[in-house]
């Protein structure tokens, strides 16, 4: 009879929803609140970093536009000047626009390179935040699913260990898109220098 009377109690305890178990256990309840709050903070940081990355990409696009606008304007002005002064006297002073073009090109190339490095660094931080969010989300789901059966010491220690042992894979240095962009702009700059000489001396 005693066994029959205790069986319903055991069945009732097992049939209690994990949320009710968490609500009745202060440690699990506090941990769930902390994790949910941290999860919200991570989502806010992810949103902020995505906004910052979009801003950096817009700045990079503007630098691309400035590069081509400045050089195309310079070539048009030099061509008009050489057409109005066909005697070739401007050829002796061709080093002045060439120097201006070179300095402008180097400045814009450095700015583009700097902004692309910033973008790459922020993308790494964003990936790290997303990984933290995934790890935390898994723990929250496990806690909601298991209730009081959730082993606090084991799961929390596993979460901390996963964060501390996470090592970024350092790939072998290869040519990246940023390197090709830098090479492209350098090539265009050299081409512009040649065109300046051709326009003013022919």
User: Which tens digit of pLDDT belongs to each residue from 124-142?
Assistant: 999 988 888 888 888 778 7
In a domain, 1, yes or no: no
In a domain, 6, yes or no: no
Assigned token pair, 178 = 């940023």
In a domain, 3, yes or no: no
In a domain, 4, yes or no: no
In a domain, 13, yes or no: no
The total number of structural domains that make up the chain: 1
Phi-psi region of 192 (alpha: psi -120 to 50; beta: other; left: phi over 0): alpha
Q: Answer whether 136's CB lies under 8 Å from 42's CB.
A: yes
Of the candidates 44, 21, 48, which has an alpha carbon nearest to the alpha carbon of residue 32? 21
Model confidence pTM above 0.85? no
User: Which tens digit of pLDDT belongs to each residue from 34-76?
Assistant: 878 888 999 999 999 999 999 999 999 999 999 999 888 888 8
Task: Give residue 86's pLDDT.
Answer: 59
Enclosing domain of residue 131 = 19-167+179-201
In a domain, 40, yes or no: yes
Q: Return d(Cα 196, Cα 33) in angstroms, integer.
A: 67
């Amino acid at each position: 009879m005693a066994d029959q009377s205790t069986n319903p109690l055991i069945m009732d305890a097992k049939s209690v929803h994990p949320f009710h178990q968490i609500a009745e256990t202060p440690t699990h309840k506090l941990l769930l609140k902390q994790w949910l709050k941290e999860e919200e903070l991570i989502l806010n940081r992810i949103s902020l970093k995505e906004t910052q990355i979009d801003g950096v990409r817009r700045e990079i696009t503007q630098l691309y536009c400035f590069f081509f606008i400045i050089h195309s304007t310079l070539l048009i002005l030099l061509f008009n000047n050489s057409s109005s002064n066909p005697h070739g006297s401007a050829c002796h002073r061709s080093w002045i626009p060439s120097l201006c073009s070179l300095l402008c090109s180097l400045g814009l190339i450095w700015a583009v390179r700097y902004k692309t490095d910033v973008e790459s660094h922020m993308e790494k931080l964003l990936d790290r935040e997303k990984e933290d969010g995934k790890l935390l989300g898994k723990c929250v789901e496990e806690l909601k699913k298991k209730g009081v059966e959730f082993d606090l010491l084991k799961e929390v220690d596993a979460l901390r260990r996963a964060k501390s042992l996470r090592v970024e894979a350092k790939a072998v240095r290869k040519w990246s898109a940023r390197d090709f962009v830098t090479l492209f702009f350098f090539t265009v700059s050299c081409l512009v220098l040649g065109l300046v000489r051709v326009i003013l001396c022919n």
